[in-house]
Amino acid sequence: MAVEGGAKCVKYLLFFFNFIFWLCGLALIVLGILVYIAFRNTAVIKGSFGPAIFIIVVGVIIFFIAFLGCCGACNENHCMVTTFAVFLSLIIICEIAVAIVGYVFRGKLSAVLDQNFKDAIAGYNTSEDLKKAIDDLQKELKCCGANSSDDWVNFNASRNSVPDSCCKNETRNCGIGAIHDGNKIYINGCQSTVEKLLNRSMLWIAVGALVIAFIQITGIVLACILTRAIRSGYEVM
């Protein structure tokens, strides 16, 4: 028995909100890819790809759950709509947990970056992966070292040289003896730039999460109303 009256309006509203929710899932996938590309430049930081991968996974889950909600609303399927509401509730709980962890981590970001940069610089001459990551980072962000070029004081025995990736015009051995030569190399460190990049990415994630959370709560309310209407229809039959 098809729902009528106000319940029918709720049915179409639920379909509409699920379509918006489906678009949000798609947007999260795109955002995750963009964040992944942005974080690729900070690969020197351990686990820097984690947030991007998490966003993509959440986007995929939302994408399919929204599809389930759309199908349930169109077919007036009690089981599908109920399952949709349950999954949506679980996602909101997970999002709250992640938001708490993110807020706690935000205060420790500077210390984490500082330690990871120290480890990366210390391992520059012994690890090809770290060397490539730091060189790519310094060239991309036009910076040198963590806080300044002085961080490379132990780069070699002369204690006055930096990697060639610090040079404004990179050529072979251009960093030799140039640790304080502002005309030849970038003096400013990379850490503050990376921190700003990560904070900006986290801000966009937070804004996106708030928008999606509003849609999720609306979807849950509409799903509960439609589920009740469908059940009432079955009882009448």
DSSP assignment of 157-191 equals TTSS---GGGBSS--TTTTTT-TT-TTTB--B-SH
Q: What is the average per-residue pLDDT within 122-138? A: 88
Whether residue 38 is predicted with pLDDT greater than 80 in this model: the reply is no
**Residue pair 216/7 in contact by the 8 Å Cβ criterion:** no
Whether residue 93 is predicted with pLDDT greater than 50 in this model: the reply is yes
For residues 221 and 202, what is the distance between their CA atoms, to the nearest angstrom? 28
Q: What is the average per-residue pLDDT within 103-128? A: 82
Percent of the chain with pLDDT over 70: 84
Confidence of residue 44 (pLDDT cuts 50, 70, 90): low
The amino acid occupying position 70 is C
Calculate the average pLDDT of the chain. 79
Give the Å distances, CA to CA, from 58 to 18, 63, 141: 16, 8, 29
As a dihedral over the C-alpha atoms of residue 143, residue 127, residue 201, residue 214, rounded to 10 degrees, the angle is -170
Say how many Å lie between the first and final Cα of the chain, rounded: 7
**Residue pair 189/145 in contact by the 8 Å Cβ criterion:** yes
For residues 115 and 105, what is the distance between their CA atoms, to the nearest angstrom? 14
**Predicted local confidence at residue 188, as pLDDT:** 92
Q: What is the average per-residue pLDDT within 81-104? A: 78
**Predicted local confidence at residue 178, as pLDDT:** 92
Q: What is the average per-residue pLDDT within 102-123? A: 80
**Residue pair 72/230 in contact by the 8 Å Cβ criterion:** no
The per-residue b/e assignment along 20-52, b for 16 or more CB within 10 angstroms, e otherwise, is bbbebbebbbebbeebbebbebbbbbeebeebb
Phi-psi group of 76: left, alpha or beta (phi > 0 → left; psi -120 to 50 → alpha; rest → beta): left
pTM for the full model?
0.60
**Within 10 A of 218 (CB to CB), how many other CB atoms are there?**
15
**Predicted local confidence at residue 236, as pLDDT:** 33
As a dihedral over the C-alpha atoms of residue 58, residue 63, residue 64, residue 68, rounded to 10 degrees, the angle is 130
Residue ranges of alpha helices (H) inside the chain are: 6-40, 50-75, 78-106, 109-122, 128-141, 191-236
Q: What is the average per-residue pLDDT within 105-128? A: 83
Q: Which residue has the higher pLDDT, 66 or 205?
A: 66
What residue spans define the domains of the chain? 6-109+198-236, 144-189
